[in-house]
Amino acid sequence: MSSLFETLCQVLPLLARFSCGFATVVRPSDLCRKTVDGEGNDLNDYPLENYKGFDKAIQSTQPLLIPSKISNIFNLFIPLGDCLLILNNAGHVGLADKLKATFEEAVPLIARVTGGEAVLFDREGIRFFSVEPDGRASNKGLGQFTYLGKRAMELGRPVIGPSLLEEGALAVRIPITDDFGLGFNNVVSVKQKKLLAAGSRRDGTRYTFSDIVGQSEAILSCIQQAHQVAGTSSTVLACGETGTGKELFVQSIHNSSQQSRGPFVAVNCGAIPSSLMESQLFGYEAGAFTGAQKQGQQGFFEQASGGTLFLDEISEMSLELQSRLLRVLQERELVRIGGKKTIPLNVRVIASTNVDLWHMVTSGKFRQDLYYRLNVVELWIPPLRERVEDIPLLVRNFIDQFRANFGSFVQDIADDALDCLISYPWPGNVRELRNCLERIMNLTTHEVIQLKDIPVVIRKGGATQAYAPAKTPADSGPLEAAVANPDSRHILGVAPQNPFDDKASYSAPQGTFLKGPTQAVERTLILQALEKSAYNRRLAAGLLGISTTTLWRKMKRLRISPGS
């Protein structure tokens, strides 16, 4: 035997352990050979035919790496002098199989601990093993594609994102090997938290004025008004389009008020069936109706005693219930359903709406007396399109939030991508912007968000016309007509010399005589309407025959401050 052959025989156990498989040295001239496994065991009866490519390798003077007959196993042939060294990774496949089997045993435990389902998926993101939150094996979703799983395998690092099964839940996908990964979510625990919160009806408030992002004149003016309102106990009506952040302001008012140490009870008037709303609001005595609890039950008004009752989507309340609510607000006391005892109330009421309540009043869908009772102080939250200068601040704030929540690597946004977001009309306001950034943060692969990462509908500007508010009859009222034709006669009150005298009603006006430049006419009329209505924009808009949104836009253009 040559000294080289003997030397290679001595190091074979180390080489086999290093390659995580078998190691063989063979002298082609006489086929003298020695084979060992990763644990140093002699396998001299191991057939050379098992090394696919052996015949080709003994004819080559260069190292060769040839796939084996078994998937993911490779044979490495290295010619050394008169010897041929052969290594493979057969043991690696065995370890991968053992690792996969270990995770299949661990996945049920992971599901039970995290409070959600847990799955294993392959390199393409296809589920091949799934368990329920209680640890039981399940066929649910087997063979289905998971995008987060595919993304994790491509990136080679964990990926976290919102679960599609429950709002507020998170899903995590972790690559374990090149062949499979682990995924789990916390759907069950999130559902349980929601049920507990709904059962107690005492929602914790976590927002304060410091959480409101923006430096525009519109939002700063709104914050200033809300600060002033917080110092009183007056009823507030928060108005604004969907997604503008009405509850953010409502919670901030509560947390800055004298009622901050009391409970904050939020009620979605559109989510509770009208048949149940009365008993939920005002409570009931034992035996008041079939199915009533034996001990009776407090209503939301009593639960909010000493604190704030937030009536969200107040426009969804039925007319019949509006009458009962009006009496409670006027008398500051209530009687439970089925009861006789009068219960005094010490609670501040804040309502919110995303529709024009005054329009509902004029159409007979909302009580006028309740409207005035709720609208003691009106807080109008501006839409995002009227505070576009705040979009860069909001975008970077959301990037920071999601980077902390998701462990994302995204740091910033490119200028052209930011310009695209600024130019979009955002019909869903801040909520839509937040959801857009969350989607981008989940899908982007760059540290800086690029223009191509922006959803196509945003890049194309969206269906801007489709999202534009419909032109209502109010928008073509006396103010619009006066501006369009200053020399014509219109009536804004009962007397041309004083269009807003005490005899004028707070309904759509009839017209007056106008002359003068367009902007001067607009400014004069708006200031007169604001003064007449004590700077209540809703009433001022009614006097002018335009919508509140149109009035706000004109005030901003003409630089008329809300309290000037």
411-419 average pLDDT score: 92
Q: What pTM value is reported for the model?
A: 0.52
Highest mean pLDDT among 274-278, 339-343, 376-380: 376-380
Structure tokens at 378: 């009106």
> Which has more pLDDT, 173 or 552?
173
So what's the pLDDT on residue 369? 94
> Which has more pLDDT, 106 or 197?
106
pLDDT digits (tens, 9 = 90+) for 161-172: 777 666 677 889
**Alpha helix (H) ranges present in 256-299?**
274-282
DSSP code of 492?
E
Q: Which of 69-78, 302-311, 384-393, 475-484 has the lowest mean pLDDT?
A: 475-484
For residue 13, the SS3 value is: helix
pLDDT digits (tens, 9 = 90+) for 125-140: 999 999 988 888 888 7
CA distance between the termini of the chain = 106
What percent of the chain lies above the pLDDT cut of 90?
42
173-193 average pLDDT score: 84
> Which single residue is written with the structure tokens 């060294």?
85
Q: Place 465 in a pLDDT band, splitting at 50, 70 and 90.
A: very low
So what's the pLDDT on residue 164? 63
The closest alpha carbon to 25, from 17, 35, 11, 37, belongs to 35
> Which single residue is written with the structure tokens 């929601």?
194
Amino acid residing at 504: A
So what's the pLDDT on residue 543? 84
> Which has more pLDDT, 459 or 146?
459
Cα torsion through 152, 153, 154, 158, rounded to 10: 30
What is the length of the chain?
564
Structure tokens at 349: 């009421």
User: What sign for the dihedral angle of Cα 21, 27, 31, 34?
Assistant: negative
d(CA 143, CA 145): 7
553-563 average pLDDT score: 75
Amino acid residing at 405: N
Mean pLDDT of the residues in the chain: 82
So what's the pLDDT on residue 105? 87
Structure tokens at 243: 């997604």
Half-sphere exposure of 357 (CA within 13 A, CB side): 28
469-482 average pLDDT score: 43
Half-sphere exposure of 203 (CA within 13 A, CB side): 19
DSSP code of 286?
T
Contact 39, 23 (CB under 8 A): no
So what's the pLDDT on residue 540? 84
pLDDT digits (tens, 9 = 90+) for 74-109: 899 999 988 999 998 877 666 667 788 888 888 888
232-252 average pLDDT score: 94
User: What sign for the dihedral angle of Cα 162, 164, 168, 170?
Assistant: negative
pLDDT digits (tens, 9 = 90+) for 292-338: 677 788 899 999 999 999 999 999 999 989 999 999 999 999 999 88
pLDDT digits (tens, 9 = 90+) for 222-234: 999 999 999 899 9
pLDDT at 360 over 80: yes
> Which class for 398: exposed (0-12), middle (13-18), buried (19 or more C-beta within 10 A)?
buried
Amino acid residing at 33: R
β-pair type (348-353, 308-312):
parallel
Q: Place 564 in a pLDDT band, splitting at 50, 70 and 90.
A: low
So what's the pLDDT on residue 382? 95
